[in-house]
A and B are shown apart, each in its own frame.
Chain A
Amino acid sequence: AQSVAQPEDQVNVAEGNPLTVKCTYSVSGNPYLFWYVQYPNRGLQFLLKYITGDNLVKGSYGFEAEFNKSQTSFHLKKPSALVSDSALYFCAVRGGMNTGFQKLVFGTGTRLLVSP
Chain B
Amino acid sequence: GAGVSQSPRYKVAKRGQDVALRCDPISGHVSLFWYQQALGQGPEFLTYFQNEAQLDKSGLPSDRFFAERPEGSVSTLKIQRTQQEDSAVYLCASSFHRDRVADTQYFGPGTRLTVL
**Interface residues of A, count at CB 8 A:** 26
A22 at the interface (CB under 8 A from B): no
| A109 touching B104, Cβ below 8 Å | no
**Interface residues of B, count at CB 8 A:** 29
With A and B bound together, what is the CA distance between A41 and B59 in angstroms? 24
A105 at the interface (CB under 8 A from B): yes
With A and B bound together, what is the CA distance between A32 and B101 in angstroms? 7
Among the 9-residue stretches A69-77, A79-87, A95-103, the one with 4 or more Cβ atoms under 8 Å from chain B is A95-103
| A103 touching B33, Cβ below 8 Å | yes
Question: Least Cβ distance of B114 to chain A in Å?
Answer: 14
Residues of A within 8 A of B104 (CB): 34, 46, 49
A116 at the interface (CB under 8 A from B): no
Select B58's contact among A43, A100, A104, A105, beta carbons within 8 Å.
A100
Select B106's contact among A46, A95, A106, A108, beta carbons within 8 Å.
A46
0/1 string, B56-82, CB within 8 A of A gives 1: 101100000000000000000000000
| B45 touching A100, Cβ below 8 Å | yes
0/1 string, B33-73, CB within 8 A of A gives 1: 10100001111110010000001101100000000000000
Are A109 and B33 also in contact (CB < 8 A) when A36-B107, A100-B56, A103-B56 are?
no
| B105 touching A104, Cβ below 8 Å | yes
A14 at the interface (CB under 8 A from B): no
A interface list, Cβ under 8 A from B? 30, 32, 34, 36, 41-46, 49, 51, 90, 92, 94-95, 100-109
